[in-house]
Homo-oligomer: A and B are copies of this chain.
Amino acid sequence: MMTIYSRRDIDLMPSRYRANFVNCLSGFKSANLIGTQSKANGANLAVFNSVFHVGANPPLLGMVVRPHTVRRDTLENILETGEFTINHISAEMVSAAHQTSAKYPQNISEFDAVGLTPEYRKHLSVPYVGESRIKIGLSCQEVIPIKANNTHIVIGEIQEVVAPEEALHEDGQIRLESLNGITINGLDSYYRAQFLARFDYATPE
């Protein structure tokens, strides 16, 4: 039985109910930890479910940064250093990763608070997550304001990728499921992925 939710129905939902509902409407989401560095407060880490692919050549990723949340630290730090890391969340880390969304005092690093390891590499001022199986170092290319709701989209250009070679298919695809990669539904629900099908490049015949 299909139910029709008009725009008015959605606007009248209680705030938390609406947040749960609308956050499911885009479909399954990526699960990443964003690593940044603050001169004043050191290493910062935040769970993001909004990282998306923008292009392969040059290699670009985007993410939505919301206003007035603990995650605004992330945007301020990116503007300060011009750099950030994207670190895949695997099933083993899911509880620690979710816990980074708590509003810790600014002088406490989420790395310490949740028990994940900051890992610095040369040529990059920002920390990777030691426990992640896929780690991506990026420079910030654009910060785009979304007029409709005062959020921002950060576009990052990939400068380095650290990944286990054995997860790579011969055609370049990374088998995320072989690394216990996970996906997010809504605000707070985490899922494993189970392979269903892979298709060839589609042609009319």
- Show the binding face of A for B, using Cβ within 8 Å: 1-7, 10-11, 13, 15-32, 49-62, 64, 66, 86, 88, 91, 94-95, 98-105, 113, 134, 136, 141-142, 144, 146-149, 151, 153, 155, 157-166, 168-169, 171-177, 181-183, 185-204
The verdict on A28 contacting B149 (CB below 8 Å), with A3-B164, A174-B186 known, is no
6 example contacts (A-B, Cβ-Cβ < 8 A) are as follows A10-B59, A25-B136, A101-B201, A142-B146, A173-B189, A190-B198
The verdict on A199 contacting B163 (CB below 8 Å), with A27-B30, A173-B185, A185-B173 known, is no
The answer on a CB contact under 8 Å between A196 and B191 is yes
User: What B residues does A1 contact at CB under 8 A?
Assistant: 164-166
The answer on a CB contact under 8 Å between B66 and A174 is no
The answer on a CB contact under 8 Å between B183 and A27 is yes
The verdict on A54 contacting B162 (CB below 8 Å), with A192-B193, A194-B191 known, is no
Given A53-B64, A60-B149, A176-B185, 6 other A-B contacts at CB below 8 A?
A4-B162, A7-B59, A7-B159, A13-B172, A181-B185, A182-B196
Q: How far is the CB of A112 from chain B (nearest CB, A)?
A: 12
